[in-house]
Structure 1
Amino acid sequence: MAIVYGLLTSLSIGLADLFGRRVVNARGPIAAGVALQFVAIFTSIAALFVVDSSFGVGDFAIGLASGLGLGVGLWAYFSGLRRSSSAVVAPLVATLSAVIPFGYAVVRGADPTLIALLGAIVAVGGLVVITMGGGRVEHLRDGIRWGMISGLGYGFGLSIVIEASESSGSWPAVAQRVSAFALMIAVARSRSATIVPPQGLRAAALIAGMLAGGSTIFFLLGVQAGATSAVVTASLFPAVSVVVGRFVYRDDVEPRQIAGLGIVLLGVIFVATG
């Protein structure tokens, strides 16, 4: 089940790009981040009625801390998509988002099989191949810079939430989104940025927020079932993001990056069989 939840996480994140980037292109990454986090709060609250969830102050605090990382990660991710190509930004974010929590899970006691560990290495290697793909030089530099910031934010946020208890259910997800929303509001105020999407794009913001909120819940359920497998399979979202970027937003995608996606899929198969 950990692999299934991880795949659902990656699918939710990738599809959120389909709708979220419309708001990014129209109002910028701050407005998109505010709208997405706001809607995701209610998605997470709704999950409390579906997933068995026991409130605990410690788990809620873990969620709040995790949300700061996710808030930074989302803002930097959208900033990178606006300035560069999804084929550069998304894989780099996913590489760090996979390596940091995976390493943390192993350090804290997770015991992956050898084939699963090799699969994780292969998957991360494929993500590196994608990241090293082309695109114009200035776009590559922008993509790497914002991708690094985003990946470190996501890596922290996804690592610390592993400490939440299994009985916490969706409560850490609620705390994550509340914290991330507060962070985005603070950033918006400091820059006097518009935070309300235009009327024609509010439906897109709503769908993106629902998908983002769902991704957090799937990830929490996944790490509770099996941290290492969930972390690696959740990092598959670049495959969806790159497809969306290429066919919907006309991002630059090179053959090397397509090959990298194939390597990632091979690595995930190893993780699944391990």
Structure 2
Amino acid sequence: MVTLLGLGAALGYGVADFLGGAASRRSSVLRVLLLGMPVGLVLLSAAAVLTTGPPTGGGLAWGLAAGLAGATGILTFYRALAQGPMSVVAPVSALAAAILPVAVGTMRGERLGATVLAGVVLCVAAIGMVSMEDGGRAGDRVTSRRLMGGGPFLAAVSGLAFGVFFTMLKEAGDGNGLWPLVASRASGVALLLIIAVILGGRMGGGRLSGATTLVLALFSGVLDAVGNALYYLAAQRGMLSLAAVLTSLYPAVTVLLARVVYSERLRVVQRAGLAVAVAGVALVTLG
């Protein structure tokens, strides 16, 4: 059951990230999120009311904190998608997101065998490989600025934020139904609204207009909420490390869609990095 839930979450996140990234190329990241995330909030709220009992204070508190981390992660992630190819940004973010829950799970007593540890090492190596952009001399300031300010760096930051999000949802505990997810989405939407008010007319990008852009943003929010729900259920029914790593398979979906729709090409080292990432995630899953 945990495997099916985790893979279902990966599918939801993968398609949501592709749609959100496509919409953010047509408009600003913040505008896309301000449409998609409230739709997800409505969906999760309806599901919580229909399927679960009253919430608890502890679960809501963890959910609120998780939402702040999740909103930070998704905002940074979509910004990364707008700056770099999806086939590089998505794996970097996913691998960074997987490492933190694995570490936390280990500290909490989840036993990782040799196979899982080998997979984690491969994941770390893959992050560096898929983050490599266009060549340049070592120490070149221009190359350094491109790396630090480009999609791969922002993807790593978003991945760490997602890792915190995954860990906090696990801490929300069982017996709270879907209410921690509602709280997390509510705090995430609140954070985005605050940022929008601060930026005012300086959000950047064009207006969120056009039927295609609106549909992309809408379905991105819906599928992201579905992914959240499936991951939460997986984390409550199994080990944090296993649920997080299975969910982190979502770049496979995003990369496949990016190849089909945008015909994105990868450098040799990036292809090798993706292969190492697949091997690392596979080892962790099998272990």
Q: Normalised by the size of structure 1, how large is the TM-score?
A: 0.89
Residue 80 of structure 1 aligns to a residue whose secondary structure is helix
Change (3 A) 1:96 1:220: same
Q: In the alignment, is the contact (CA less than 8 A) between 2:73 and 2:159 conserved in 1?
A: yes
Percent sequence identity is 28
Q: How many residues align?
A: 274
Note the 1:27-38 alignment, pairs <5 A: 27-38=27-38
Q: 1:218 aligns with which of 230, 236, 240?
A: 230
Following superposition, the deviation at residue 73 of structure 1 comes to 0.6
Q: In the alignment, is the contact (CA less than 8 A) between 1:123 and 1:268 conserved in 2?
A: yes
Q: In the alignment, is the contact (CA less than 8 A) between 2:28 and 2:207 conserved in 1?
A: no
Amino acid at match of 1:238: P
Amino acid at match of 1:197: L
Change (3 A) 1:162 1:113: same
Following superposition, the deviation at residue 163 of structure 1 comes to 0.7
Amino acid at match of 1:222: A
Gapped runs of 5+ residues in structure 1?
Answer: none
Residue 62 of structure 1 aligns to a residue whose secondary structure is helix
Per the alignment, residue 102 of structure 1 pairs with 102
Per the alignment, residue 3 of structure 1 pairs with 3
Residue 76 of structure 1 aligns to a residue whose secondary structure is helix
Q: Distance in 2 between matches of 1:190 and 1:102?
A: 36
Following superposition, the deviation at residue 125 of structure 1 comes to 3.3
Q: In the alignment, is the contact (CA less than 8 A) between 1:98 and 1:124 conserved in 2?
A: no
Q: In the alignment, is the contact (CA less than 8 A) between 1:44 and 1:213 conserved in 2?
A: yes
Q: In the alignment, is the contact (CA less than 8 A) between 1:35 and 1:196 conserved in 2?
A: no
Q: In the alignment, is the contact (CA less than 8 A) between 2:91 and 2:274 conserved in 1?
A: no
Following superposition, the deviation at residue 236 of structure 1 comes to 1.6
Query: Superposition RMSD on alpha carbons, in Å?
Result: 2.5
Change (3 A) 1:186 1:269: same
Q: Which has the higher Rg, Structure 1 or Structure 2?
A: 2
Q: 2:247 aligns with which of 209, 216, 234?
A: 234
Q: Normalised by the size of structure 2, how large is the TM-score?
A: 0.85
Q: 1:144 aligns with which of 138, 152, 160?
A: 152
Following superposition, the deviation at residue 165 of structure 1 comes to 1.2
Gapped runs of 5+ residues in structure 2?
Answer: 137-142
Q: 1:168 aligns with which of 167, 171, 176?
A: 176
Amino acid at match of 1:165: G
Query: Deviations along 1:76-102, whole A, 9 cap, x unmatched?
Result: 111111112223322221122111121
Change (3 A) 1:128 1:242: farther
Amino acid at match of 2:215: A
Of residues 188-197 and 38-47 in structure 1, the stretch that sits farther from structure 2 once superposed is 188-197
Amino acid at match of 1:99: I
